[in-house]
Amino acid sequence: MIPATKTIPASNALAGEGAPPHFRLRSALSYCAPLIVNGVALPFFPVWLATLHFNDREIGIILAVPLVVRVLVAPVVAMIADRMNERANVLVWSGALSLLTAIALYWTSDFWPVLFVYALQGATYAPYIPIVESITISGVRRWGLDYGSMRVWGSIAFIFSTLIGGQMIGQWGGGTVLPVMVAGFILTTAMAVFCPRIGPTRRRNIPINIQAPVGSSLRNPQLLVTMIGVSVQQSSHAMLYTFSSIYWHQLGFSGTQVGILWSAGVFSEVMVFFLSRRLSRRFSAWTLIRFGSAMCICRWILFPMNLGFVGYFVLQCFHSCTYAFVHTGIQRRIVATVQETQEASAQGAYYFYNGMCLGLMTVASGYLYAWLGLASYYVMAGVAAFGLGMVMIAYYLQPQSAVVGGKTREAS
């Protein structure tokens, strides 16, 4: 999936303590490397699978199984990372093992071998981005750094990776996907060594400008329902991730045009980063989630219409709302609810719910697309609406004391 996009309010630095040298640069590069891989794998790995003559159901299963594997592995590794002296050490193993699985794909062409190797890659790659997220957010908590200024470079790397990948595939075909993925995993492993080492998580000395967590347990009911509701809404993107590139190729769009369409969605996320502080001051986390979910429903209702290249370009820009706004909101809710000592665990829990819902919906999308064709996007609109309903329930699950005065609930 498109990497996590969020806005965490910057805070005042702790007195007498400074961030590790070049923390912003090293964190930015730690995002860039894995998102280069995602920039090729997300839009074009289905195209590579299509070159192996797999049908819609087989493509859906191959793409879904790693998602399910990831959500089983990521929370466990995240909890272990919370107890380690250096969370970043996990990234080295994750990058190196993922590189081996990418190389192994060269020797696979049948359904079951491809499914096994790609599922194994899902397991080895699972903890990478959640742990990078937790390290960066710890920097925001401890030293008042601006999250958006670091995370935005990952999105920019995704855009360039997608554009260049689209040109290469347009010129040399879907077989280009594997060597680009291998090169990306080499860079990912190298950046894991370069990632900032900031020591273990801690409970004290959280900057005062960050809203104090209202609970220390990941079992907080409103947080649990919010994470699940957002995960359901986000899972409606499964049809887009799985079959949009294939569909656009069938419409006659070139590899470069498909790359531009994918990049348009991520570029719109970058715009959210540049406006992040203004959005944070103007809108609550709940407002961002609700608005993004409503736009998601509209997006899938419009998608089955043949809108042409320009129309789909505009529709892809909806991604700033349907993904970036929603993910921004849920991450702000996580920061407001859990302590730093549970940061990686919280990210792992959200990764679990998000990945499980997305994995199940990806499997379903293979069958739905084979059965309903483009009409299956109307089903995705219904899924997004269900997720929005769960978010509304979570909003009213907040403690009654949070509603006194009529402002605190929205301020959350």
Among candidates 63, 5, 34, which has minimal Cα distance to 245?
Answer: 63
Distance CA 264, CA 306 (A): 18
Give the CB-side neighbour count of residue 161, counting CA atoms within 13 A.
29
What's the pLDDT at 162? 86
Please state which CATH number belongs to domain 23-198+214-411.
1.20.1250.20
What's the pLDDT at 411? 45
CA distances from 180 to 79, 230, 361 (A): 32, 32, 27
Task: Supply the DSSP symbol for 216.
Answer: S
pLDDT tens-place values along the chain, 412 residues long: 444 444 444 444 444 457 788 898 998 899 898 989 998 888 889 889 988 989 888 988 998 888 888 878 877 887 787 778 888 899 999 999 999 999 999 999 899 999 999 999 999 998 898 888 888 888 877 887 877 778 778 888 888 888 888 888 878 888 889 999 999 999 999 999 999 888 776 544 443 333 444 444 566 788 889 999 999 999 999 999 988 988 998 898 988 899 899 889 888 988 887 787 778 778 888 999 999 999 999 999 999 998 999 999 999 999 999 998 998 888 788 877 777 666 667 776 787 888 889 989 988 998 999 899 999 999 999 999 999 999 999 888 876 544 433 444 444 4
Distance CA 124, CA 66 (A): 10
Which sequence spans correspond to the domains of the chain?
23-198+214-411
State residue 338 phi and psi, 5-degree precision.
Answer: -115, 155
